[in-house]
Amino acid sequence: MKKKDLVIILIIFLIVQIIFPLFYKVDGTSMLPTFRDNQWVIIDYYGFNDQYKKDDFIIFDLNGETIIKRVIGVAGDRIKIKDNILYINDIEIEENYILEK
């Protein structure tokens, strides 16, 4: 592959990355053990009108900071946390992915 081709590929990659970011670097430990600090993740871009499912991961911007979180409930679900226990639709949910209460 020629140097010129590599430069074109890099430019296209950077343009796509700016418009539709697909690679994110995890910053922090709130998603341990699923994601580690400084770990790179590749996302599947859903768009704005698709339906998310329970246990999907979402990446969104909050006050200029990129946040990654797990979906625990969807439209119509009743979510309650009582005494550090998560209930969805009045069913206790065991959160095996959480390291601490």
- Tell me which of 25, 54, 69, 80 is the catalytic residue: 69
Active site residue 69: yes
> How far, rounded to the nearest angstrom, does the alpha carbon of residue 64 sit from its chain's CA centroid?
16
**Residue among 66, 22, 25 at smallest CA distance from 44:** 22
Contact 59, 43 (CB under 8 A): yes
Containing H/E element for 17? helix 3-19
Active site residue 101: no
- Tell me which of 25, 30, 54, 80 is the catalytic residue: 30
**Which residues does the annotation mark as catalytic?**
30, 69
